[in-house]
Chains A and B, each alone.
Chain A
C-alpha cells in the first residue's frame, strides 16, 4: 500500500478501529451482564420463567448473528424499534452473546460444590448474600477461561456489524478498498491486523485469568 493512501484514510481507519473496540467492550460487558442475569433467573426464578429463558437461549444460539441483526435493524421499525446502526449493533451483540454467557455462568454455578452453599445456609446466611459472597466468586474462578474465550470470539463477531452499516473497522476498510480499488491489500492487512489483535487479547486474557484465579483462590 502506498503511504499516501494511508495518510488519506488513516484517520478514518483509526475511528473505525476505535468503534470496533468500543463495540467489543460494551457488547462484552452488556452481554455478560445479561447472561449473568439469565443464569441467576434460571437458578432461582419460577419454572415458567426458566422455560421461557431456555427457549430464548435455544433460539438465539440456533440462528446466525447476521440474521438476528437483520431482524433487529430492518425488522425493528415494524414494532416501533427504530435504532441507528451503532445502537442496533450494540443491542444485537448483547442479545447474541447473552445466551452463551448464560450457559458459561450456569456451568460455573454447577461447579460450585453444594457443600459450600450448605455451609453458608447452615450459619443462617440469606440467599442473596450467599449468591454474592460464595456462589459468584467460586463460580467465576471455574468459568473464567470460558468467559475470556467467548469474549475473544465476540471481537471477531464485531466485523459482522459492518453489514448493517456500523462504521467500524471492517466497514471503513471496505469503503477504502472500493474507493482505491485495493481490495486484496486492504483485506490482507485487515486479516493480519485481526490476527494480531486476537492473539494479543488472548495472551492478555490468559494473563488476566491466572491473575484473577490466583487472587480469588490464594494469596501467597
Chain B
C-alpha cells in the first residue's frame, strides 16, 4: 500500500484576463480515494487539476496537500521555487499528450527524475525504473525511444515515470484522450491497479466507464463551476442537476449506435 496524500481545495479562483476559468471551487479528496473530474471541454477541469501541482497558478483560494498550502507561503506571497519543487516531487502527473522526452529511451525517461531530482545513483535508479516499467507491462520496451512506441505504450511509460518517483498523489489530465480507441484499455488497466493499491488519484477524463467503476467520487464541472460532486452512481445515474443530465444525455447519444 502506498502512503497517500489528501487534497483540500478551498475557494479557488483563476482568471485569464477578464475570463474566469475557475469560480470559487471547493473540493475535498481523502487519502487513497479516486476522484474523477468530468464535464464539457472548456469547463475548467484541466485547469483545476493543474492548480493542484501549481503548474497553473490560481489567483485566490487555497490548495492544500496533506494540509500544506501549495504555491503560496501565505495568500498573495508566492512560495520559493525550491519549496515548490520539493512539494511537486510527491505529486505525479500524467498528461494527455504523454510528454515523454523524445531524445531519451523509455528507461531513460524514467531514470531522469530519479537521478536529477531524487539524487539517486544510476544503477539504483535503473533498477527502480525497470521495476516501474515492468509494473506497467513494458519490461520488454525499456530501450525504445518514444517514437518507437505506440500511444498506449508511451502513456504507460509516462505513468511509470510518475510512479517511479513514489508519489503520494497522482494527477491524470485526460490520459486516454489522445489514444486510438483500441489502446485506451491498456492505460486504464494500469490506472485501475494504481487505484487498487490505495493511491490518491485525481483524473480528468471522458471515460465514463472508468469513472463509474473505479472512482470513489465524481465531480462535474461546467463553465468554471463545480456543479456537483458525489459518489459515481448519484452523478452518473441519478443526476439531479439539469446541466449534468444534459451532458450525460449528449454523451450517451454520441456513444450509442
Residues of A within 8 A of B (CB): 113, 115-116, 118-127, 129, 133-134, 137-138, 141, 216-219
Q: Report which of A121, A122, A124, A217 forms a contact with B103, defined as CB distance below 8 A.
A: A217
B147 beta carbon closer than 8 Å to chain A: yes
Q: Report which of A116, A124, A129, A133 forms a contact with B99, defined as CB distance below 8 A.
A: A116
Distance to closest chain B CB from A65 (angstroms): 35
Known: A113-B97, A113-B99, A115-B95. A123 touches B81 (CB 8 A): no
Q: Are A115 and B85 in contact (CB under 8 A)?
A: no
Q: Which 7 A-B residue pairings sit nearest by Cβ, starting from the closest?
A: A115-B99, A119-B99, A122-B93, A124-B85, A218-B145, A124-B88, A124-B89
What 12 additional pairs, Cβ within 8 angstroms, besides A123-B165, A125-B85, A219-B145? A119-B99, A119-B100, A119-B101, A119-B158, A120-B113, A121-B55, A122-B55, A122-B91, A122-B93, A138-B101, A141-B102, A217-B103
Residues of B within 8 A of A (CB): 53, 55, 81-82, 84-89, 91-93, 95, 97, 99-103, 105, 112-113, 116-117, 143, 145, 147-148, 158, 161-162, 165, 171
Set of chain B residues within 8 Å of A129, measured between Cβ atoms: 116-117
- Interchain residue pairs with CB less than 8 A apart (14): A116-B101, A119-B99, A122-B53, A122-B162, A122-B171, A123-B93, A123-B165, A124-B88, A126-B117, A133-B101, A134-B101, A138-B102, A138-B103, A218-B145
SS of B interface (majority): mixed
Bound Cα distance from A203 to B30, whole angstroms: 62
Set of chain A residues within 8 Å of B171, measured between Cβ atoms: 122
Bound Cα distance from A213 to B158, whole angstroms: 23
Known: A123-B113, A133-B116. A118 touches B145 (CB 8 A): no
SS of A interface (majority): helix
Report which residue of B81, B100, B103 has the largest number of chain A beta carbons within 10 angstroms of its beta carbon.
B103
Set of chain A residues within 8 Å of B100, measured between Cβ atoms: 116, 119
Distance to closest chain A CB from B30 (angstroms): 23
Q: Are A123 and B147 in contact (CB under 8 A)?
A: no
Distance to closest chain A CB from B108 (angstroms): 10
Name the CB-closest residue of A to B164. Answer: A123
